[in-house]
A and B are shown apart, each in its own frame.
Chain A
Amino acid sequence: MKRIRAIIIHPSTLISNGLKSILHSKNITDVNIHLSFPDVREIKEWNDSIVIIDVNYTSALNNYFSILKKNSNHILGICHVEYERPESPMFESIINIFDDSETIVRLVEGCLPIDSKESYSSELSRREIEILKLVAGGKSNKQIADELFISSHTVITHRKNITAKLGIKSISGLTLYALVNNLIEL
């Protein structure tokens, strides 16, 4: 499995180290913490990483969003209000500080592509495959959002990405793709 690199940007030492500790316990050991946004020269060096940012830094993130995405980074947010996951097109997922460790790891790993040379679905990320399976199973965007602890807006974004990558638009088409690639069974 491809080595995952995570970068946490959060002003709280407690939250940053807690998150780092959870990621370490799941063998995600390459984790760097920044208590504030680092210099743009350093941000430009980040490639293929998972960048986990305090949602209160959204306006600062605006300045670096295009650089981060250009370098194939995945961006997750951390929010602090129980039961909330604010919607934002910049975040692939939102971690809530009240989430358990399994959910946190699932949200982090969900951004990554599947590391498989044989599967036709390796072009989709894990999160996209998760969503594809749920769409094929007849779930609505709202149901998918609730199940994966992400916003409906994020589900819609992922679905658009899936369509763009596969060239398949209809739910029946996505279901057939999932069947043919053994992602679901009848």
Chain B
Amino acid sequence: MNHYMISEKDKLSEILKKNIDLLPVVYRFGISTSVGSSTIKEICMKKKIETSFFLVILNTFHSATYFPKLNDIDLLMLIKFLKKTHDFHKSVTIPRLNNLINDLVKYNPDEKIAIDVKRFLDRYIKNLLLHISFEEKEIFPLTEEKNRVMNQGSVKKVKALFRQHTDVESEISDLIIIIIQHIPKNTDIALIHDILHTLSHFAKEQADHARFEEKILAPKLMALLS
């Protein structure tokens, strides 16, 4: 478990070496891998990124025990980051998962589990895209004053977030368990490993994403709505 607190003096390349799963997170800020040996502070200044916000995001994804205080986060910056996360999943994670599962079906045509898993994932992705659309159309606009109406409808929308998050997270976790329990005979174990690794990483990202929305975004929105 990671407990190290990332600071602006750290070289980003060293941090990424410690935890390569931070690479897609860093990418969402428009930072590519050609970071050289620059410190986080130097990179943020060059890319015009708010350093404290960048560190909050990195530390949240890096350490399970770290979570920022409500007042430390700028709401509009958070929304922008969450939207970038959605875009990343739509353009990178989901196509990658689809390709891997399609390969599972292609190379195991006689295995019923491959078809069942593909059907499950198709339905999961459809629900996930509906959830993303719900957040972007119904929740994120509440940060703009013109969209904010103090009524039970807006409050219910924010509360609905929590229910949807639970479903999204537990379904991917269940899929991982079922694949592990029922790995097809004579299958390409490297492919299974890729699938499970991608799903596990995605599950963790979803959990961290949900934490931001439930512990920071939702309370800030409820405060604005009251």
Contact = CB atoms under 8 A, between A and B. Distances in A.
A148 interface: no
B170 A173 contact: yes
Nearest to A178: B116
B171 A172 contact: yes
A98 to B, nearest CB: 40
A167 B177 CA distance: 7
A43 interface: no
Given A176-B117, A180-B113, A180-B116, A120 B182 contact: yes
Given A120-B181, A176-B175, A169 B117 contact: no
A180 B174 contact: no
Interface residues on B, range: 10 to 19
A180 B182 contact: yes
A172 B123 CA distance: 9
Contacts of B175: 173, 176
Interface string A138-179: 000000000000000000000000000011111011101101
Contacts of A168: 174, 177-178
A170 B116 contact: no
B102 interface: no
B96 to A, nearest CB: 21
B146 interface: no
A100 B119 CA distance: 41
B184 to A, nearest CB: 11
B108 to A, nearest CB: 13
A182 B113 CA distance: 10
Nearest to A168: B174
Given A180-B112, A180-B113, A172 B178 contact: no
B162 to A, nearest CB: 15
B27 interface: no
B112 A172 contact: no
Q: Point out which of A176, A177, A180 has the most chain B C-beta atoms below 10 A from its C-beta.
A: A176
A170 B174 contact: yes
Nearest to A182: B112
B102 to A, nearest CB: 18
Contacts of B116: 176, 179-180
B120 A172 contact: yes
B124 interface: yes
A166 B181 CA distance: 10
Contacts of B113: 180
Interface string B112-155: 11001101100110000000000000000000000000000000
Nearest to A166: B177
Contacts of B74: none
Given A176-B116, A176-B120, A180-B113, A170 B178 contact: no
A137 to B, nearest CB: 16
B187 interface: no
A168 B171 CA distance: 8
Contacts of A179: 116
A182 B174 CA distance: 17
Contacts of A177: 174, 178
Interface string B166-207: 010011011101100110000000000000000000000000
Contacts of A182: 112
Contacts of A120: 181-182
Contacts of A173: 170-171, 173-175, 177-178
B2 to A, nearest CB: 25
16 contacts: A120-B181, A167-B174, A168-B174, A168-B177, A168-B178, A169-B170, A169-B173, A172-B124, A173-B173, A174-B174, A176-B117, A176-B175, A176-B178, A177-B174, A180-B113, A180-B178
Top 4 nearest A-B pairs by Cβ distance?
A173-B174, A170-B170, A169-B170, A168-B174
